[in-house]
Amino acid sequence: MPYNHYSNFLVNNIYCVLLIPVLILSVWAQAQVSGSFRKYSRDQNRRGLTGARAAEAVLRANGVYQVAIRPTSGHLTDHYDPRDHTIYLSESVYSAPTVAAVGVAAHEAGHAVQYAVGYSPIRLRSAIVPLTNLGSRCSVILLLVGMLLYSQSLFLIGILLFSLTTVFQLVTLPVEFNASRRALEAIEGQGLLDTDELSGARKVLRAAALTYVAALLMSALQLLRYVLIFLGRENRRGGGRR
C-alpha cells in the first residue's frame, strides 16, 4: 500500500475507533438530560417553590441582588446573560414548582454568582468568546482551502483556529461543574428541597454536565483528526524531498 494511502487509512481508522464511544456518550448524555428533566418535572417539590423563586433564593443566599430573573421561550433554553445581568428561565422552569425547575434555576443562579464573585474560569471563558466565535467561523474555510490547495500553512492556521473551540469547551467544564456545586450547596443550605428531592435535582444537573463532557471529547477528537492529517501530509512532503 502506498504511504499516502496508508497514512489516510491509519488516520481514518484511529478517528473512527475513537469516534464510536464518543458518539455513544453524546447520545446517552442527551437522553439522560431529557429523561431526567422530564422525570423530575413531574415531581412537584413539597414547598411549591418555582424556578424563579429558587433562583432568587440562591442569589440572595450569596449576597447577589442586582440580577433580574425573567421568563424566556423555548425548552431548556435557560441561561444567564452577563451583558444585562439577567437570568432567563424557560417556560418549564420559570413558573414550575418542580424538583427539576429548582435544580436548573439554581444552576443558572450559580452562574450569576460566579460573575458576581469574579470566578476566574468564567472570566476566562468570557474573554475568549470573541476568539472562539472567530475560530469557529474561519477554521472550516481555512482547513478546506488548505486541503484543496495543499497549503500546509493555511491548514495549520485552520487547526489553530479550530483549537480555540476545544479550549473553550475545556474551560467550560469547571464553569459548569462549579455552578452546579454552588446550586446544590445553596439548595441544601437554604432548605429549598428535602433530602430525597435534592437527589433528583442532583441527577438533573449531573446529566446536564455529561453533555459538556461529551462536547469536549467530540471537539478534541476532531482536533486530533486534523492534527494527524497535518502530520501525515508533512511526512509525505518530507519523504518527497529525500
pLDDT tens digits, one per residue of 132-148:
999 999 999 999 999 88
- Confidence class for position 100, pLDDT limits 50, 70, 90: very high
- Confidence class for position 233, pLDDT limits 50, 70, 90: confident
Mean pLDDT of 28-44: 94
Indicate if 197 belongs to the active site. no
In this predicted structure, what is the pLDDT of residue 13?
Answer: 74
56, 108, 176, 197: which one is catalytic?
108
**C-beta atoms surrounding 1 within 10 Å:** 7
Give per-residue pLDDT as tens, 40-80.
999 999 999 999 999 999 999 999 999 999 999 999 999 99
In this predicted structure, what is the pLDDT of residue 197?
Answer: 96
- Confidence class for position 14, pLDDT limits 50, 70, 90: confident
In this predicted structure, what is the pLDDT of residue 238?
Answer: 58
